[in-house]
Amino acid sequence: MKTKKLLLGDEAFALGAIDAGLSGAYAYPGTPSTEILEYVQSSPLARERKIHSHWSSNEKTAMEEALGMSFCGKRAIVSMKHVGLNVAADPFVNSAMTGANGGLIVVAADDPSMHSSQNEQDSRFYAKFALIPTLEPCDQQEAYDMARYGFELSESMKIPVLLRLVTRLSHSRAVVETETEPMPENSLSYPANPRQWVLMPANSRVRYRQLLADRDNMEALSESSPFNRIVPGTDRRLGIIASGIAYNYVQEAFGGKCPFPLLKISQYPVPRALVDELVGMCDAILVAEEGQPFIEDMLRGLLDRGPKVYGKIDHLIPTDGELTPDSVAAAVATLLPDFDRLRPAAGRRAQNVTSRPPALCQGCGHRDVYAALNAALEGFESPKVFGDIGCYTLGFLSPFNAIDTCVDMGASITMAKGAADAGQHPAVAIIGDSTFTHSGMTGLLDAVNENSPVTVIISDNLTTGMTGGQDSQGTGKLEAICLGLGVDPAHLHTIDSLPKKFDDMKALFTAEMSYDGLSVIIARRECIQTARRHAKAKSK
C-alpha cells in the first residue's frame, strides 16, 4: 500500500530512511539540510521506535556517531550542508576504508547560488576521491526511494553512500508516494572483518586494495542502476547528459518530450558504459549538471580531443550560481538555431525595486553586542574584529559594519589569535554559542595555552538561530567549558546583552581589550525568535 504526502526533498529522504528501518539520525544544523533531522525528531514512528535524533556538536562528531551505529549493524544517516562535509571530511574519507556494516547514508546538501552559504563547493568530488558511491536524486520521490535503495547499496557493498541534495530539492515540496508498512530495524551485529575497522597501516594497505577493486563493482552497479538510464531521442545532432535535478530542467524545456537522446545520471561513479552508448549515437554532447562541471570535466579530460562536449567549461551554461530551467533551455537554443523558441522570454524588469538584504531581527541581542562593541572600539587606533558563522555575520552589514572576517565555523577565535601573534591589538573574536561548541573550543584552548592577547565575545542566544532555532549543545555550560579549558576566572565575564546594559557592556569590552592577555566575555540574551515561540507555548 502507498499513501501520498506533500514533502520537502529533505523530509522525503528522512521519511524514506525511517520507513527503511533507520535506527539513528545524526546532524548539525545547516541550510539547506536542517529539515532532515527535524523531520525525524517530529516523526511519531521515530519516537515510538526511539530512533536517535539528538543534534550533535558538529558534523565530525555526527559522522563518527553514525559510523559507530553502522559498526553495530544498524542503519544510520548523517546529514549536513556541503561545507559541513569539510568538517566531517576526516571520518568521511576514512569511513570508505573501514567500510560500513549497517547501512550508512551520508547526506550533503549543496547550496549553489549561496542562498545561505559561503561557497558553492560540489560534494560529488569528495565521494569521488574517497571512492564512495553517490546518489543524486532528481526529485522528491527519488529522495524518498533512495533512502531504502541507499541502505541496501551500503550493506551490499559494505561501504557508506553519499547522497547529494541541492537547495532546490531540499527546500522544494512535492507529492510523494510513501510506503505504509515501515521495515523493521536491523538487530545488533558486528562487522564480518573486524581488522578492517582498525586503520593501522598493515590493515589499511590490505583494505585499500580491496576498496580499489570494489570501485569497479560500484561502476557496474551504476550502469545497472534503476536511477540511471538513457531516454531515447530521434534528433541525434545532440545528446544530453543531465544529472540530479538538471534532468527536470531538461524535461521542462521540452515539455517532457526531449527530442535528443538523454542520459539521466543519479548514481555515481559515472556509468561509463551508458556515457559511451550515448556518445556513440550523437554528434555532440551537452552536459547539464547542478554545481561544478564534474561529469563534463571527466568527459573532456585534459586534452579534450574526444567528441564535442558543451557545458559549463565553455561558459555556455553559467559556471557560477545555480542551474535553472532558463540556463538549460538557453544552452540548447544557442547550440541549435532551430530551437531558438526555447530561449527564455523574460520581460522588462520593474524600475522601482531596490535590494532588501537580510538583517538582524529587531530585539535581537546581537544588535546590542555590536552597538556596544562599536562604541568600545572607537577608543582604539586600529582594532580588528574576527567574525564567525551565524546570524551575527549580518553584523558585517550597515548599520554595524562591525566585522572584518568570516571564513568558517570557529575561525573567529583562531584567526584573532593568529592576528595577535602577528602583533595586532586589539584582536577581537565574536562567535555564537552554537558555533563556539561546534568548533570554537579547541581554538580557545590554543589561546589559553599561550595567554594570547585576544578578546573573545561569545554572543550567546541560547540556540542555533540562523537555521531556525535548534537546541544549542553548550546551553548552560559555557562558563564551565571556558573555565575547564583554563580561561583565567578574572577575565571571564558574563553580561546580559540588553539595551539598558549598553554602558556596562561598553566598559567591559574596553577594559578587556586593554588587557594584555586572553579574556572571554559571554554576552547572553535569548534569541527573539525562540523567545516568542517559548512564550506562545507557555500561554497555551
Partner 1 sequence: MKTDIILAGVGGQGILSIATILGEAALRRNLYLKQAEVHGMSQRGGDVMSCLRLSSDPIASDLIPSGKVDLIISLEPMEALRYVHLLVPEGRVITSTEPFVNIPDYPDIEAVMAELAALPRVVTLPAEAIAREVASPRSSNMALLGASAPYIGLPVDVLEDSIAAVFGAKGEKIVADNLAAFRAGLEYTQSH
Instruction: Please give the residue ranges that form the binding site for partner 1 (CB under 8 A).
Output: 4, 6, 31-32, 34-35, 115-116, 167-169, 171-175, 245, 248-249, 251-253, 256, 324-326, 329, 344-361, 391, 394, 466-468
Query: For residues 315 and 348, which CB has a smaller minimum distance to partner 1 in the complex?
Result: 348
Shortest Cβ 276–partner 1 spacing (Å): 27
Shortest Cβ 163–partner 1 spacing (Å): 18
Shortest Cβ 390–partner 1 spacing (Å): 10
List, in sequence order, the alpha helices (H) in 422-518.
433-435, 441-449, 478-485, 502-514
* Tally of CB atoms within 10 A around 378: 9
Query: For residues 360 and 427, which CB has a smaller minimum distance to partner 1 in the complex?
Result: 360
Q: How far apart are CA 247 and CA 138, in angstroms?
A: 7
Query: For residues 10 and 223, which CB has a smaller minimum distance to partner 1 in the complex?
Result: 10
Q: How far apart are CA 473 and CA 438, in angstroms?
A: 8
Three-state secondary structure string covering 66-104: HHHHHHCCCEEEEEEEHHHHHHCHHHHHHHHHHCCCCCE
Cis link prior to 344 (omega < 30° from 0)?
A: no
Shortest Cβ 326–partner 1 spacing (Å): 5
- In 3-state terms, what secondary structure has residue 234? coil
Query: For residues 201 and 256, which CB has a smaller minimum distance to partner 1 in the complex?
Result: 256
Q: How far apart are CA 261 and CA 362, in angstroms?
A: 54
Shortest Cβ 255–partner 1 spacing (Å): 8
Q: How far is CA 152 from CA 72, 89, 256, in A?
A: 16, 23, 31
Shortest Cβ 30–partner 1 spacing (Å): 9
Q: Which H or E run includes 25?
A: strand 22-27
Of 360, 369, 361, the C-alpha closest to 499 is 369
Shortest Cβ 256–partner 1 spacing (Å): 6
Query: For residues 354 and 382, which CB has a smaller minimum distance to partner 1 in the complex?
Result: 354
Query: For residues 234 and 351, which CB has a smaller minimum distance to partner 1 in the complex?
Result: 351
Buried b or exposed e, range 329-342, using 16+ CB within 10 angstroms: bbbbbeebeebeeb
Query: For residues 34 and 439, which CB has a smaller minimum distance to partner 1 in the complex?
Result: 34
Q: What residues pair up with 456 in beta bridges, in sequence order?
A: 429, 520
Shortest Cβ 348–partner 1 spacing (Å): 6
Query: For residues 248 and 455, which CB has a smaller minimum distance to partner 1 in the complex?
Result: 248
